[in-house]
Structure formats: structure tokens, C-alpha cells
Structure 1
Amino acid sequence: MDFLHRNGVLVIQHLQKDYRAYYNFLNFMSNVGDPRNIFSIYFPLWFQLNQTVGTKMIWVAVIGDWFNLIFKWILFGHRPYWWVQETQIYPNHSSPCLEQFPTTCETGPGSPSGHAMGSSCVWYVMVTAALSHTVSQMDKSFITLHRLTWSFLWSLFWLIQINVCISRVFIATHFPHQVILGVIGGVLVAEIFEYTPGIQTASLSVYLKTNLFLFLFALGFYLLLRHLDIDLLWSVPIAKKWCANPDWIHIDTTPFAGLVRNLGVLFGLGFAINSEMFLRSCRGENGYGLSFRLLCALVSLTTLQLYHFIKIPTDTEYLFYVLSFCKSASIPLTVVALIPYCIHMLMKPSAKKLN
């Protein structure tokens, strides 16, 4: 493992030396892979255009991030920005100097990369959905056009994943092997859900049971290893110790913060899809109209950008987790139930006047 870490540091030094001018682009690509953007950008857009794809996207993102958490706890992966300070393999304390950035100081273990895993699983869902739609619309005689579409979309997929991986390595948050593991893990999770059609018709009971299982398994795993004197939060004090700027340490990068956020989103989606508001709007007379769906997508994207201004207090950790769960649950409730229902009610009088 030291071999991978040491060579990974050389790669990071090379990137930071030769690609410093591309920092803004690489920082943008890192944000593209941010799991939080799945819920605030990709999901509201895709759900309004295709409810099947939107629902699958949430399931893939939540289950993928849950597996990412479990593997992080099992693999005990170091992050480059603290590993170079903690390791003893460099003689005479001549540890390499790695530049840090505002997005560097994540506090959870580093392997596999959550950004790479989240990006690959969600983009895999989007690409396969787009291919499925284009193939169904194409005449069988257009074999060349189908092949070009297939090549373009998968080339776009790998171009995005490579750039997300490079961005995460550049800011010294991950070693190269960690982002590669993340991409592989994300693709595997997404591929499994290609053969799990039952999530489209899942009842509220299924959502609640899944939420409870994911929470109890993660909590039980944590308590079991803690009983064995294995601290799964070992990385948090190290991250705080070696981060260049204390302001770059954020509680929402801790392992449990991601778990709570994902459980909140899945919980909210279960209630929203099984709500009366969703059935009346998205499954009603307006639900299949293109103008209705585009308007819902536009309003959803705009509304969720306002969520960034809602700051959750971080003074009390447990209160932060509770409020984070509630905020996350409100996202699918807003996108799936509240906004479509309000637009449906506004369009209803207009439809009556036309009649």
C-alpha cells in the first residue's frame, strides 16, 4: 500500500505543478462529481422529464453512497494531504509538500472516492437511459447513427469520469487508486439496478424498511467495531490536525453526515411518490404534458438553488444530523409532490377556461 501511496504523491505533485492554471476547471469538475449535486441538479431535472430515470437515480445514488461508506470503514484509506505528514517512509522528515485548497480537507477515510463513485453511478444511469430512449426512437435501418450515438454518449461518460478523478487527485483529497476504485464501484452499483425494476413500484413500506435497514446496519457495524476498540472516526482528528486552514473543515464531510443526508432523501422520496399530491399532479391529466414537466423542472431547479442559503447550525453535532435529515427529506418532497401539485392547481383553472 505504501507503494501506491508514494507513487500517488508523485502523480499529485506532477498535477499540481503542471496543471495549476486549470484549477478553476478542475474545481468545477470536482463539483460535478459532488454527491450533493445529484439531489439538487440531476434528480430534479431527470425526474420531471422521466420519472423512472429520476427514481432510479435516487436509489442508485443512495445505495452507492451507502456502500461507499461501508467500504471506507473497512479499507481505512488515507487521504494524501494528511498521509504525507503521518507516514514514516520519507527519510529525515523530508515529506513532500502538497498544496491544499478549500475543498481538500474532507474528514472521512479516502478509499474509495465518494465523488468518483457518485459521479460514475449517476452518469451511468443517465447515459443508459438516454441510449434506451434514442434506440427506441430510431429506425432499425439507422445502424450507423445508433453506433455514433452510442460512441458519443459513452465517450462523454468516460471523459467526465476521468476529469472528475483528475480533479480529486489534483486537490490532494484522493490517491489515484482510490478514484479508480470509486468509478468501478459506481458502475457496478448502477449496473445492478439495471436489473431491479421493482423500485419503480415500491410502496412507502418498502422505502421505510430500506431506510431502517441501511441505518441499523451502518450503526450496528460502527458499534460492533467500536466494541472491538476500532474507531471508525479515526480520520476526523487527523484531518483537523493537518488541514492547512481550519475554515476548510466542514462537518458535512464526516461519514455520518453523508449517511444522514442519503437516508433523508430516500425517506422523502418514499413519502412523495406515495402522496396524494403526486398522484393528482404527476399522474393526473397534466402530468404527461411536456409544458407541465418543463415548468416543473425549471421551478424545481430554481427552488433547490435557494436551499444553499439555508445554513444548518453546526454547534451541536446531533442537532446538525437531525436538521440535515429534515432538509434532505424536503428535497424530493418539494420536487416530486409540492411543486408539481402547485403548478397543477394553477394550470387547472386555465384548462377549465379553455374548455
Structure 2
Amino acid sequence: MDFLHRNGELIIQHLQKDYRAYYNFLNFMSSVGDPRNIFSIYFPLWFQINQTVGTRMIWIAVTGDWFNLIFKWILFGHRPYWWIQETQTYPNNSSACLEQFPTTCEMGPGSPSGHAMGLSCLWYVMVTAALSHTVNRMDKFSITLHRLTWSFLWSLFWLIQISVCISRVFIATHFPHQVILGVIGGMLVAEAFEHAPGIHTASLSLYLKINLFLFLFALGFYLLFRLLDIDLLWSMPIAKKCANPDWIHIDTTPFAGLVRNLGVLFGLGFAINSEMFLMSCGGENCYKLSFQLLCAMTSLTALQLYHFIKIPTHTEHLFYVLSFCKSASIPLTVVALIPYCIHILMKPSEKKIK
């Protein structure tokens, strides 16, 4: 493992030296890979276009991030920005100093990369969903179009994955092998859920059972290791050695991601089984382009306003509770509240036309 770390450190030094001028672009690509964008950008768009794909996207994102957490706890992966300070492999303190950035100082273990895993999950779902619409007809023109679309979309997929992976290595948050593991892991999770039946018609009780299982398994896994005198939160004290304390955020802790994902899944289950959803998306409106566009634009606008809602971080347990509630409100807003309000507003105009 030290071999991977030392060679990874050399790659990071090379990137930071030769690609410093591209910092803004690389930092942007790192933000693109943030798993939270799945809920605030990609999901609102896809759910209004295709409810089945949008629902599957949430299930895959939540499950993929959960697997990412478990693997992080198992693999005990160091992050470059703290490993270089902690390692004893360099004689006479001869190790070089890696540059740190505002997005560097994440607090959980580093392997596999959550950004790379979440983004590969997401784009795998989007690419396969888009390609599925080009195979309905089998005439010569359709086959040619499918092949061209296949080449373009998978080229775009790998271009984005490689860009995000390079950006995560550049800011010294991950070693190269960690982002590679993330991409492969994300694709495997997405493929496993690709043909899972009944996800978009799951009952509220199933959502609650899955939520409870994911939470209890993760908590039990953590407590079991504590009984074995192994602290799975070992990375948090080390991460606080970040160059700038202001760059350390509680929402990058392992349990913060778990709570956020459980909140989103709970909110989706509650919303998709609510009367508001059935009234607004159960009728003809659901298939109207004007209705879909209004819902998508309103959802995106509303979720951007969520960024202004700051959760207090002075009490860790309170932060987790409020984070769960805020996350649950996202699918409730996208799936139930906004479509229902637009459905009500469109009713009077439909009556006038009749």
C-alpha cells in the first residue's frame, strides 16, 4: 500500500506543479462530481422527464454511497493531504509538501472515492437510459443512429469520469488508485440495479424497511468494530490537521453522508406514495411537455434556494437530525409539492379551454 501511496504522491506533485493554471477548471470538475448534485440538479430534471429513471437514480445513488461508506470503513484508506504528514516511510522528514485547497479537507477515509463512485453511478444510469430509447426500432437508420449515440455518450461518460478523477487527485483529496476503485465500484452498483424490478412502484413500508436496514447495518458495523477496539472514525482527528481549519466541514464526515442519503430515500418513499403525487402525476398532466418543463424549472429553482438554508454545526447530533429533515424535504418538494401546485394552477386554464 505504501508503494501506491508514494507513487500516488509523485503523481499529485506532478499535477499540482504542471496544471496549477487549470485550478479553476479542475476545482469546477471536482464540484461536478459532488454526490449532493445528484439530488439538487440531476434528479429534479430526470424525474420530470422519466419517473422510472429518476426513481432508479435515487435508489442507485443512495445504495452506492452506502456501499462507499462500508468500503471506506473496511479499506482504511488514507487521503494524500494528511498521509504525507503522518507517514514514516520518508527518512529524515524528506517528504515534499502537497498543496491544499478549500475543497481538500474531507474528513472521512479516502478509499474508494465517493465523488468518483457517485458520479459513475449517476452517469451510467443516464447513459443507459438514453440509449434504451434508441433501440425501439430496428431499421437501418435506427441502428446507425444507435451506434453513433452509443459512441458519443460513452465517450462523454469517460471524459467526465477522467476529468473528475484528475481533479480529485490534483487537490490532494485522493490517490489515483482510490478514484479508479470509485469509478469501477459505481458502475458495478449501477449495473446491479439496472434491471431491478419494482423500484418505481415500491410501497412506503418497503422504503421504511430499506432505510431501517441501511441505518442499522451501518450502525451495527460501527459498534462491532468499536467492541473490537477499532475506531472507524480514526480519520477525523487526522483530517483536522488541515492547513486551514475553515476548510474542515462536518458535512464531509462518514455519518453526515449516511444521514443525508437516508433522508433523501425516506422523503422519496413518502412523496411517491402521497396523495399529492397521485393527483398531480397520476393523470394526463404527467405526460404533457408543458407540465414537465414547468415542474423541472420550478424544482431546480426551489432547490437552489436550499443552499441558503444553513444548518447549525455547533452540535453534531442536532446537525444530523436537521440534515435528515432537509434531505427528506428535497424529494418531497420535487415529487409531490411542486407538481401538485402546478397541477392545481393548470386546472383553471384547462376548464377555460373546454
Question: Which TM-score applies when normalising by structure 1?
Answer: 0.98
Name the counterpart of 1:107.
Answer: 107
Moved more, 308-317 or 136-145: 136-145
Name the counterpart of 1:88.
Answer: 88
Separation in 1 of the partners of 2:174 and 2:266? 30
- Pairing of 1:240-255 with structure 2 (within 5 A): 240-241=240-241, 243-255=242-254
Secondary structure, counterpart of 1:88 in structure 2: coil
1:217-271 deviation line (CA, Å, top 9, x unaligned): 0000000101111000000000002x00000000000000000000000000000
Amino acid at match of 1:305: Q
Correspondence 1:221 to 2:208: no
Correspondence 1:324 to 2:323: yes
Separation in 1 of the partners of 2:340 and 2:133? 27
Separation in 2 of the partners of 1:343 and 1:139? 40
Secondary structure, counterpart of 1:107 in structure 2: coil
1:188-243 deviation line (CA, Å, top 9, x unaligned): 000001120221211101100000000000000000101111000000000002x0
Runs of 4+ in 1 over 3 A off after TM superposition: 137-142
Amino acid at match of 1:154: W
List alignment gaps of at least 5 residues for structure 1. none
Name the counterpart of 2:31.
Answer: 31
Name the counterpart of 1:307.
Answer: 306
Deviation at 1:94, TM superposition (A): 1.4
- Pairing of 1:157-172 with structure 2 (within 5 A): 157-172=157-172
Correspondence 1:258 to 2:253: no
**Is the alpha carbon distance of 1:275 and 1:156 closer, same or farther for their aligned partners in structure 2, counting shifts above 3 Å?**
same
Name the counterpart of 1:349.
Answer: 348
- Pairing of 1:134-153 with structure 2 (within 5 A): 134-136=134-136, 139-153=139-153
Q: Say what the alpha-carbon RMSD is for the aligned residues.
A: 0.9
Name the counterpart of 2:56.
Answer: 56
Amino acid at match of 1:128: T
Separation in 1 of the partners of 2:16 and 2:95? 16
Separation in 2 of the partners of 1:138 and 1:42? 30
Amino acid at match of 2:260: R
Separation in 1 of the partners of 2:28 and 2:183? 18
Amino acid at match of 1:326: C
**Is the alpha carbon distance of 1:281 and 1:140 closer, same or farther for their aligned partners in structure 2, counting shifts above 3 Å?**
farther
1:52-89 deviation line (CA, Å, top 9, x unaligned): 11000000000000000000000000000000000011
Secondary structure, counterpart of 1:341 in structure 2: helix
Secondary structure, counterpart of 2:284 in structure 1: coil
Correspondence 1:285 to 2:284: yes
Secondary structure, counterpart of 1:173 in structure 2: coil
Separation in 1 of the partners of 2:133 and 2:303? 27
Separation in 2 of the partners of 1:140 and 1:214? 47
Amino acid at match of 1:198: G
Amino acid at match of 1:147: R
- Pairing of 1:68-83 with structure 2 (within 5 A): 68-83=68-83
Separation in 2 of the partners of 1:307 and 1:336? 16
Name the counterpart of 2:4.
Answer: 4
Deviation at 1:285, TM superposition (A): 2.5
Amino acid at match of 1:109: P
Amino acid at match of 1:268: G
Separation in 2 of the partners of 1:240 and 1:66? 24
Secondary structure, counterpart of 1:197 in structure 2: coil
Secondary structure, counterpart of 1:296 in structure 2: helix
Deviation at 1:140, TM superposition (A): 4.6
Name the counterpart of 2:333.
Answer: 334
Separation in 2 of the partners of 1:152 and 1:43? 22
Correspondence 1:123 to 2:123: yes
List alignment gaps of at least 5 residues for structure 2. none
**Kept after mapping to 1: 8 A contact 2:134/2:145:** no
Q: Give the paired residue count.
A: 354
Name the counterpart of 1:180.
Answer: 180
Separation in 2 of the partners of 1:185 and 1:219? 22
Deviation at 1:138, TM superposition (A): 6.8
Secondary structure, counterpart of 1:134 in structure 2: coil
Secondary structure, counterpart of 1:98 in structure 2: coil
Amino acid at match of 2:234: W
Aligned-residue identity in percent: 88
Secondary structure, counterpart of 1:34 in structure 2: coil
Separation in 1 of the partners of 2:270 and 2:247? 35
Separation in 1 of the partners of 2:34 and 2:9? 23
